[in-house]
Every structure is written in structure tokens, then in C-alpha cells.
Amino acid sequence: MLRAQGRAVHQCDSGWVPVFVDQEQSISLMSVGFLLESPDEAVVWRGPKKNALIKQFVADVAWGQLDYLVVDTPPGTSDEHMAAVEALRPYSPLGALVVTTPQAVSVGDVRRELTFCRKTGLQVVGVVENMSGFVCPHCAECTNVFSRGGGEVLASLAGVPFLGSVPLDPELTRSLEEGQDFIRDFPKSPAFPALFSIAQKVMSEAPARLS
Amino acid sequence: MLRAQGRAVHQCDSGWVPVFVDQEQSISLMSVGFLLESPDEAVVWRGPKKNALIKQFVADVAWGQLDYLVVDTPPGTSDEHMAAVEALRPYSPLGALVVTTPQAVSVGDVRRELTFCRKTGLQVVGVVENMSGFVCPHCAECTNVFSRGGGEVLASLAGVPFLGSVPLDPELTRSLEEGQDFIRDFPKSPAFPALFSIAQKVMSEAPARLS
């Protein structure tokens, strides 16, 4: 998505140097993908080994000064989530951004993730509903491919902010497939105002703590 | 999806009795969901505890005589997958059915799952592409919401059968949301022939071993 595949991670005195994805060095990235020899290689690791690497990604990477550190986790409430919460606790994380799709089956899973946040004392910045309706590019009619409204109901039940819905959007997919800059290249896409408004709400709910 | 939420698991002399989802007892089901007190409860378990439960679900459930035992795993190649492969090895499992969505990002993840199958000696029954195009119910035009063709390319690169593509289908979502019988209630839905043909191919690639 960020055209960073195949890039290498180097060592410096203060730890691993993250991969910079743009010339301005405004986004730096660390991923287990950079440590593998081939993109086909499977990370067949049990919990303890994953936990150790997640801790290293927080503590042993020379992140420098950041506005936001975004940790993209798999779905669920397992080793990865516990390890990330534990590794980040000393830094008082701003909170969890919880993403669901509209249908009841996903909302059920995500309810359990909200319980996890409560149990581990992680604040919930808000809920985002993804894959929320599809505007046909041929006839402009909207279809709720995956039911609708689940994210908003979930946020209201859990008493956390609902940050918005992102529609299914072939232009967003294409942009991610080709590593394009969505903000620059697709300002008229239906997902654009949705993502822009969510980003603004996140920044106002959880402003960066500049030191 | 199977209208089984809230059902209880009982004990008998030969182990846990699975939950039967229809009167004919043609489908029996076991899930950690049946063992929780509330549907909101998060399973915040590390690997070893999950591994132990997966082994119990194979060995300590009174499954009786089955045509097929389907294990629905989360995405990835981690504890759950290793535990399932190890627990099932004594029964010579027929193989893995690998599901991807069409876009390059998912195909990359699923390539690693195929590597996992090779490493663990698990045969791959085939690859299925899900969320493969959307036929607008208003104008009947098809849009490839998530790119296209990734599943077929992946199967061909890995030298395993490609079993078919399932389109995005609001009727399939509705059926799953409401626990309806899709085969009985939606025979004209666009996902119906796709799922039917995939099921037939699975049964011919990996016929049930009746004892």
C-alpha cells in the first residue's frame, strides 16, 4: 500500500532505523515484512516470539519524534493485542480506534474488542464503520452490500464516539493496490470526504501530545 | 449465521455434545462462543490456552460419524493454525481450503498461508476468491470493487486448483445476518451458482472418507 515492499531495515546506534515511505520522511514504517527474506515467507510463530518482536518494535526502533504512532493489529483479542497494550503502556497510549464492517457478525466480534479495551484500561477513541454501502459508478444508486448501521449502533451501545462510515470504493482499492497517494490523486472519490472527516475527528478526540 | 447463539454445550460419557443447528442433526457445531457467559465477553487468551482448547475441540467432542469436519480459522499463520494442524494430523485431514479477496494486499497474505500449508505438509484443496465483483441490483452492471482475478493468479502460481469466485451479494449478507437457509431461500441470488459449483468441486477434489 505504501510502496515499501522489499525495503531494508538498517541498524544505527539507537536501534533499528524505520523505513521512510516519502521524501519528506513524514511517514516512517516498521513491519515484520522488512525482516523476511522473501515476500512468500510465512511467519509461523507462536505467541511468545511474536510478543518479543512487538516489544522490540516499540522499544528498539529509532522512531525519533512522532506526532502519532499507529499500530495496525489483526482482528481479535489475542497475543498481538496484549503485547501491544503492554509494550505501549509506559507511553500512555491515546487509545484504540476500533474498525468494524456493518453486518451483525462483525459487530459481534468488535463488541468483544471493546470489552478487551475496557479490561486492559485502553481508552476507545471511537468506532469507524468500513465497507459501508456501495455507490454504483454506472447508475449512482447506493446499495448496502453488507447490511448497514452496525458501527453506529455499536458505538452508541458502548458509549464511545462514532467517527464515521467509509463506503466501498473501487478508487480507494486501486489507490492501495498501486501505492498511489489517495489524498492527492482521488479527491473526488466517495471515500475521500469520509476518510478526511474521520481523520479530523481522531485528531480532535486524541490530539498529538507534542513534547 | 446458524441461529445457534446462546445455545449450551452439554457433557455426555464420550465428551462434549456439539450443538445441532437443524432438526435433522445434519450440522453439528462447536465454538468457544458456547462456553462464554455473555456474547460480549472477550476471549483474552494467549497461545497455550487457545492451543489446549483447539485440541479439546478435536479430541473431546462427541462428534459421532461425520462426512466433513470444517475448521474455520482466523486469517494468518499463527497459534490457531499450528494447533489445528497438529490436532488433526492423526486423522489425515483432507486439506486446506484457502480463501482470498481479489486485491493484491490480500493475495500477499494468502501466499504466506500457502507457504504455511507446504511447510506443515497440509494439502491445499484449492483457492476460493471471495468478494469478487458486485452486480448492481439497480442497473445490473458489474463493478470490481476490490480489483479482480487475484485468486486465480495465486492458485496458478502456487500450482493448486482454483475453485471459483463468490461475488459480493447483499442477499447472501442478509441470509447470514438473519440465520436464513441461503440454499432454500435465495436460489436466484448471484452468489448461489458460485457457491454451489465450489461445493461440488470441493467434494470431487476431496471426497469424504466414509468408514
Q: What is the CATH number of the domain that holds A196?
A: 3.40.50.300
What is the tally of structural domains in chain A? Answer: 2
Task: Give the minimum alpha-carbon distance from B167 to chain A in angstroms, rounded to a whole number.
Answer: 11
**What's the maximum distance between 2 C-alpha atoms anywhere in chain B?**
58
In terms of domains, do A21 and A124 share one? no
In terms of domains, do B102 and B75 share one? no
ipTM higher than threshold 0.85: no
In terms of domains, do A127 and A137 share one? yes
Nearest to B87 by CA among B75, B103, B101, B69: B69
- Interval A90-133: pLDDT, tens: 999 999 999 999 987 788 889 999 999 999 999 999 999 999 98
In terms of domains, do A182 and A102 share one? yes
In terms of domains, do B68 and B133 share one? no
Domain end point (choices A93, A117, A148) = A93
Which residue in chain B is spatially nearest to A77 when comparing CA positions? B44
In terms of domains, do B84 and B105 share one? no
In terms of domains, do B104 and B185 share one? yes
In terms of domains, do B47 and B137 share one? no
Rounded-to-integer distance, Cα B71 and Cα B203, Å: 16
What DSSP element (H or E) covers A99?
Answer: strand A96-100
Question: Given an 8 Å threshold on Cβ–Cβ distance, is B44 in contact with A74?
Answer: no
- In DSSP terms, which residues pair with B29 in a beta bridge? B19
Domain end point (choices B93, B122, B147) = B93
In terms of domains, do B89 and B121 share one? no
In terms of domains, do A39 and A123 share one? no
Phi-psi region of A174 (alpha: psi -120 to 50; beta: other; left: phi over 0): alpha
- Mutation site for B-interface testing, chosen from A82, A114, A115 by largest number of B Cβ within 10 Å: A115
How does residue B23 score in pLDDT terms, banded at 50, 70 and 90?
Answer: confident
In terms of domains, do A194 and A141 share one? yes
Q: Flag whether pLDDT at A43 surpasses 90.
A: no
- Interval B116-127: pLDDT, tens: 999 999 999 999
Rounded-to-integer distance, Cα B1 and Cα A41, Å: 34
- In DSSP terms, which residues pair with B165 in a beta bridge? B129
- Interval B148-188: pLDDT, tens: 788 999 999 999 999 999 999 988 988 988 888 888 889 99
- Interval A14-23: pLDDT, tens: 999 999 988 8
Domain that holds residue B53: 1-93
Residues from chain B that touch A112, judged by Cβ atoms under 8 A, are 40-43
- Interval B99-112: pLDDT, tens: 999 987 788 889 99
In terms of domains, do A111 and A184 share one? yes
CA distance to A183, B41, B63, B90, per residue, from B15 (Å): 56, 24, 9, 19
